[in-house]
Structures are given as structure tokens and as C-alpha cells.
């Protein structure tokens, strides 16, 4: 067994166990900010180490090809680490003020990260299922972490029920595919002639439905608005950034490794669903008063944009998906970091809570505006470059109408994003609340803005990394 292939996962596991041990040693009356610092330092070390894992002479395997480590999976692992790193960074004050079990919170974030990494490297359905369950079980607990809030508990129960149902559907689909092909390995399933049997087609359909639930794709999105609104804001951020990216990572590996010969079946479905998500997500976001709920519907639309790249089914399309997934992390960090501060100090995340934010905290208002404009795809933000890549890739494949739908929906998103900006810059804070910004929050929002603007102005560096990642995957 090649343990070098799972060195990142081993590091995450050791860090999670160390965090638990430190939490047990520290007296109850002590703050848990030291645990946050340990987590940040550990994640930074793992992020730096991950760059040494890129290789150009083949891929690494662990335990008889059950765990596949290529540049594609390494890129997604870096994305997950960055997402969790930012979440820990801006959530310190939030967890200190609003959460009871702070040490457990950070360890559960790391276990969710471990599940995401397993998903990115899974080369068979059993490994993918284990990674998916490790991630989702951690999120079930994290969503209900704010025990004093009835909304948080309700969101956790809804997420558990819907998530368990989708997992059951996916597991049954996996069993049908295994029954038809006699294998759970992606490479072997691809070459099996029984894949065209009715039983296999039913299994593939169920597996796709399970993934669509995780990605909150319309019409399997019912859980997302309530869970996003009720969950603690840092958890909502990680759900939008990490969980969605992990679902995309394993979905693309399954489609292009296990079911490439079935493209005639799943490509038309993805075309329709991507258009429906872009239209439905943006239209439903317009009327939302709670900003977390608005961002939930916005994330549904973002899933539609990313599926546009999958529809292209070629290297430029895959590069565009990876590029957009990374810049989406930076945009989300800025938006949710601001909402975390607002919720902590004002107790709400609706439009009224951000009124006059430009006067009380101009940095937060500017960060929120730039992040929302990036999600809308307005230059010179990173979102503009990402959508150009996505729409160019899909147009080259002959789906001009899909790119047009994406463009129109992006313009619609500008409308409800500007409503938030209007409330911040033209609204009046009747309570005259003084917003306190900690150093950790200030660092996270500034880094997110720098990342958003730098990628928008100089997208070549990130594009080169995505090119390296996709080359091994599409090969």
C-alpha cells in the first residue's frame, strides 16, 4: 500500500484528533481560540504540502487502485482546504459568542474536510459512499450546532431526513449497477457491456438523483433554503463552498470515468437541469428577504452555471468548472464572513440587518458588494472570467442558447445583488449599531477580496493550475 497517496488525508485525521485532544485538556472556562489557531496552522501546512503532490508521470494509487490520487483530485483537495481554512478564520468570534461546543465544532469541520478529500479521490462507488457519508454526517451535526436556536435544530432535522433519503436512493442505485455489472470500480463498470441493461439504467438514474440532492439541483433543492437559513453562518458558508464542490468532483469522475458511454442519456438531462437551475435559482432569489436564504437560491443557480461546463464534456469545459469552483470559494468567503459578523452582533441576516452597513463598517460593505458582483460575473472580478470560460466552452459545443440563458440570468442576479448594496449604502440603520471587526475577520475578508480581484485581472495562473489538473483527468 502506498501511504504517500493518502498523506493529505492522514494529516487531516491527525489534526482532527489533536484538536479533540487539546479540547479535552483545556479547562472548560478557557476560550477555544487556541484550538482555532492550531487548526489554521495545521491547514496552512497541509495546503503548502499539497503543492508537492502534483505529478506529471502518472497517478498514485492506494490499496489495489481503490483510491486514485491524480492532479484533478489534488486540485479539489486544495480547494477544500482553502474553504475550511477561511471558514475557521472568520468563524472564531462567531463560535465564541453563539456556539456552546467550540472544540467539537472545529474537529467536525476537519472530519467534513476528510470526507470531501475522500470523495475527490474515490475510484469506486464504495469509497465514494464512505466519503459522502463522512462529510454529510459531520454536516448534520454542524447544522444543528447552534443549540439555542430553534431554526438551527429544525434545519438539522430537515437536512438529516432529506439527506438520508437521498443517500438511500443513491445506495440502491449503486446496488443495481453492481448487480448488473458485477463491479463497483469505475474503470471496470465503463467496460462492462451489461451497462446498457434496463437495471443498470435505473441504477444510474438513482445515483444521479442522489448527487443532484447533494448539489441542490432543481427539483431536488427543497432542503437547501431552510438548511442554509437555519444553520450557523460559517456552516452555511462551507456547505455552499465545500460540499457543493465535493459533489461536483465525484459527479464528474463518475460521469466521465464510469459512464462515459452513456453520454447520450445523461448529457440531455444535464443540459435541461443546468438551464432550470440557472432560471429557477435566480428567479426565486429575487423575493427573498433573508440574505442567507437568498444566497441559498443563488447557490442553486451557481450549480447550474457549473453544470454548463460539464455539459461541454471536453477539456475546456472541465477547466472552466474547476476554475469557477475555486473562484466561487473566494466570493462566498467574503459574503458569508460579513453575514457572520452581522448575525453575531445584530442577531439577524435579513435586509434590515445590513442597512447602513457602509457607515458603521465600510470595509464589510465593500467586501460584500465585491463578492456579490463576482457571483454575478461583473468585471473585473473573478466571476466574470469564470463565466467567460464556461460560456465559451459550451458555445464551442453548439449550445449557444444555453450560454444565452446563462448570460440573461447573470443580469437578473445583478438586480437582487444590488438590492443588498442599496440597503448597505442608502439604507439607514435605525439602531445605530457599532460593528466590531476582529483581526481574523478583517484578514479573511481582505484575502477573499484580493483573491477575487487578482483572479479577475490575472486569471492565467489559476487557469494554468486547472489545466494541469484536467490533463490527467481527461487522459
| pLDDT tens for each residue of 13-25 | 999 898 888 888 8
Contact 383, 455 (CB under 8 A): no
Task: List the chain domain ranges.
Answer: 3-474
Contacts of 26 (CB under 8 A, 6+ apart): 32, 34, 35, 103
Confidence band, pLDDT 50/70/90 cuts, at residue 431: low
DSSP 265-304: HHHHHHHHHHHHHHHHHHHHHHT--BHHHHHHHHHHHHHH
Yes or no: say if 163 and 211 are a contact pair by the CB < 8 Å rule.
no
Q: Name 320's Cβ contacts closer than 8 Å, sequence gap at least 6.
A: 308, 309, 312, 386, 389, 390, 392, 393
Confidence of residue 176 (pLDDT cuts 50, 70, 90): confident
Q: Are strands 60-62 and 67-69 parallel, antiparallel or unpaired?
A: antiparallel
CA pair distance 328, 85, nearest whole angstrom:
15
**Averaged over 146-162, what is the pLDDT?**
80
Q: Which residue has better confidence, 81 or 181?
A: 81
Judge whether 155 and 229 are in contact, CB under 8 Å: yes
Contact between 339 and 349 (Cβ < 8 Å): yes
Whether the per-residue pLDDT at 276 is higher than 80: the answer is yes
Write down the mean pLDDT value for the chain: 84
**pTM for this model (two decimals):** 0.91
Contact 210, 170 (CB under 8 A): yes
Residue-level pLDDT at 339:
87
Per-residue pLDDT at 376? 87
Long-range contacts of 219-227 (CB under 8 A, 24+ apart): 219/276, 220/166, 221/281, 221/300, 222/162, 223/158, 223/159, 223/162, 223/163, 224/296, 224/297, 224/299, 224/300, 225/293, 225/296, 225/297, 226/154, 226/155, 226/158, 227/143, 227/155, 227/158, 227/159, 227/296
Q: Would you call the peptide bond into 365 cis, given omega within 30 degrees of 0 as the criterion? A: no
Amino acid at each position: 500500500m502506498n501511504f504517500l497517496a493518502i498523506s493529505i488525508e492522514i494529516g487531516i485525521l491527525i489534526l482532527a484528533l489533536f484538536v479533540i485532544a487539546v479540547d479535552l485538556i483545556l479547562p472548560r472556562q478557557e476560550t477555544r481560540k487556541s484550538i482555532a489557531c492550531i487548526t489554521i496552522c495545521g491547514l496552512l501546512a497541509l495546503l503548502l504540502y499539497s503543492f508537492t503532490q502534483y505529478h506529471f508521470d502518472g497517478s498514485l494509487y492506494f490499496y489495489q487502485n481503490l483510491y486514485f490520487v491524480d492532479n484533478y483530485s489534488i486540485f479539489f483537495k486544495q480547494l477544500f482546504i482553502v474553504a475550511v481554512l477561511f471558514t475557521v478564520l472568520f468563524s472564531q468570534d462567531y463560535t465564541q459568542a453563539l456556539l456552546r461546543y467550540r472544540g467539537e465544532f472545529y474537529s467536525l469541520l476537519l472530519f467534513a474536510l476528510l470526507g470531501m478529500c475522500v470523495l475527490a479521490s474515490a475510484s469506486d462507488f464504495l469509497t465514494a459512499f464512505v466519503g459522502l457519508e463522512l462529510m454529510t454526517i459531520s454536516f448534520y451535526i454542524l447544522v444543528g450546532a447552534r443549540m439555542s436556536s430553534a431554526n438551527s435544530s429544525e434545519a438539522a432535522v430537515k437536512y438529516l431526513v432529506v439527506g438520508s433519503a437521498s443517500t438511500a436512493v443513491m445506495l440502491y442505485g449503486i446496488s443495481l449497477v453492481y448487480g448488473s455489472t458485477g463491479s463497483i470500480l469505475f474503470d471496470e463498470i465503463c467496460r462492462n457491456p451489461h451497462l446498457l441493461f434496463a437495471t443498470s439504467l435505473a441504477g444510474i438514474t438513482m445515483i444521479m438523483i442522489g448527487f443532484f440532492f447533494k448539489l441542490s439541483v432543481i427539483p431536488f433543492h427543497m432542503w437547501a433554503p431552510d438548511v442554509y437559513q437555519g444553520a450557523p453562518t460559517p456552516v452555511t458558508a462551507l456547505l455552499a463552498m465545500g460540499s457543493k464542490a465535493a459533489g461536483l468532483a465525484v459527479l464528474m469522475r463518475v460521469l466521465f470515468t464510469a459512464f462515459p458511454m452513456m453520454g447520450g442519456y445523461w448529457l440531455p438531462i444535464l443540459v435541461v437541469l443546468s438551464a432550470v437551475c440557472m432560471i429557477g435559482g435566480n428567479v426565486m432569489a429575487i423575493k427573498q428577504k433573508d440574505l442567507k436564504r437568498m444566497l441559498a437560491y443563488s447557490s442553486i443557480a451557481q450549480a447550474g452555471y457549473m453544470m454548463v461546463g460539464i455539459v461541454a464534456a471536453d477539456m475546456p469545459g472541465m477547466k472552466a468548472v474547476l476554475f469557477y469552483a475555486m473562484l466561487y470559494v473566494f466570493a462566498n468567503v467574503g459574503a458569508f464572513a460579513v453575514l457572520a459578523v452581522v448575525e453575531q452582533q445584530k442577531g439577524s441576516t435579513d435586509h434590515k440587518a445590513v442597512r447602513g452597513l457602509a457607515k458603521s463598517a465600510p470595509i464589510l460593505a465593500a467586501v460584500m458588494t465585491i463578492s456579490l458582483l463576482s457571483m454575478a460575473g461583473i468585471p473585473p472580478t473573478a466571476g466574470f472570467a469564470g463565466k467567460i470560460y464556461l460560456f465559451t466552452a459550451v458555445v464551442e459545443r453548439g449550445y449557444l442558447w444555453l450560454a444565452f440563458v446563462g448570460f440573461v440570468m447573470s443580469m437578473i442576479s445583478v438586480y437582487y445583488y444590488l438590492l443588498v448594496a442599496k440597503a448597505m449604502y442608502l439604507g439607514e440603520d435605525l439602531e445605530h449599531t457599532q460593528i466590531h471587526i476582529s483581526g481574523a475577520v478583517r484578514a479573511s475578508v481582505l484575502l477573499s477580496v484580493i483573491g477575487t480581484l487578482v483572479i479577475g485581472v490575472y486569471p492565467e495562473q489559476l487557469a494554468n493550475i486547472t489545466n494541469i489538473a484536467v490533463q490527467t483527468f481527461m487522459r
